[in-house]
Structure 1
């Protein structure tokens, strides 16, 4: 299903009819796809595998765009195509309006080094370097002077909550701390586009939840354009502004978490969402009323417009009837009424 919700003019990254084939027929099928002459019977009879099938997406500046699907759905291959770590067989990929498929190898190295950050499931830390050395390493590759790169690295180490551990080696850190180093390293180059490929899936559940909280905190501060891959639907609806669900290499639905849960486009998407509690998905912003400019005696607190209804419900306590709703900048944008929350919770 093409993504028609994000105007390309406002998009940071755009994919147009992207295909990726693997196997003996890959080149022939790629040429047919680029020419617009690829037929379904050609795919059915080919020895090549279509790992990515005719994907069109527009990812907005500053949003966390989650790509999810089961193992083998093509999500990791698609993200590697976006950065040309894997060469697409057909289509177009535009980054800030520049066609990456027309870029030279030298230009792509420059774009990855200076404009893209990447975090993978495997932390890939350099074992002989300290936390400081690992975080500063991408800047060293860029030729940044030592004093400047170490100052930037220390700033990022503090941002991810590892101050005091800058001289530790990776073996001296826990799994969650190692992942924080990987995140700090990817942020050191101040990327315009941040790719995260199942970064928390190897962590224990409690550490994973902690890292999700940390990720949400970082995004509230940095407001990066993020492409986040996961196979965990709970993680997708917690972190994503919009979600693309993939199956067999194709995108079957794109939408907000609320849209995915409340209006699944296919039976496959319905299976993903069948056991999801609505209150855990619907955001406060969707249920809030316009602010009237006063706090009122029955206002018991405040809540982020990105929090879910399930997260907001306990904040009412015993007597309060409404919460002030604030956006990422801390501005009051609405009021959440207890009555509306109760009605949503009753729906299960």
Structure 2
């Protein structure tokens, strides 16, 4: 549910106080706040920040696993029990606009009327995949939720708004508090399938997160068909779960993880002894190389396809829009006989995370 290095997005903000509906009541609320914390035409002072966190934050970061300077796994435990949900779904995380931004990220000028608000962003829920003993761990076997998140340091263009959440989130450590919305939702789920069907998960960057959760469920429930996760990233070090995938491949003969890169020397230097070119999923699929590596025909007759990540990779074209010069996976899969009809639940079906 993301651009190549960007988590799924569903930005929204909400006020951090409940106000009476009549103007007189609101005036009294403001007066009480000013008497306690100081003028509301200034950012909240440290004591007010503490009380805002105490009042609105409902979850704790219990572990942060840094993969690179810009990529991390966050394990977050909510104060309340986690409600049942399906692998592939997402939930919103949030922090107050008063929280400091990480040094080196794009500055943000927060209007005073938003200084006491929460900024939220939705993230697909990942999965630890392995427990402390090196055995399969599904998302419902732990009392926390795991998120696979990229730090967005600046807006995509010079006129883009500064990223609001991750510059604040990446300043947090284990033990810090955060907002986690209570509702876990999303239509990107496994759906119906036969136990011998091939399940093919194609993702870019942190778009792998929901695929980890889906694959873990399939393994835990004894799926017999091939389970293939192919992830395209810029560099090998961007594959944050590669060690977990290697262990699971040794434990489950039908499980395969295919990490693919686009900016390593073997991707961009034709004279490199292991030159393979840029391993974009579209090229790997149309060339037949993906099926070769998967040791499976990846045909509509036996395969379900799941897409999550960069919209350019997914290739959804809104009605009336022009087709891009370089097609994404959706038109390529349709041309190969697959269908993205949301009402179908059979081999040959495409499911993709649509968040734009």
Same fold (TM over 0.5): no
TM-score (norm 1): 0.28
TM-score (norm 2): 0.28
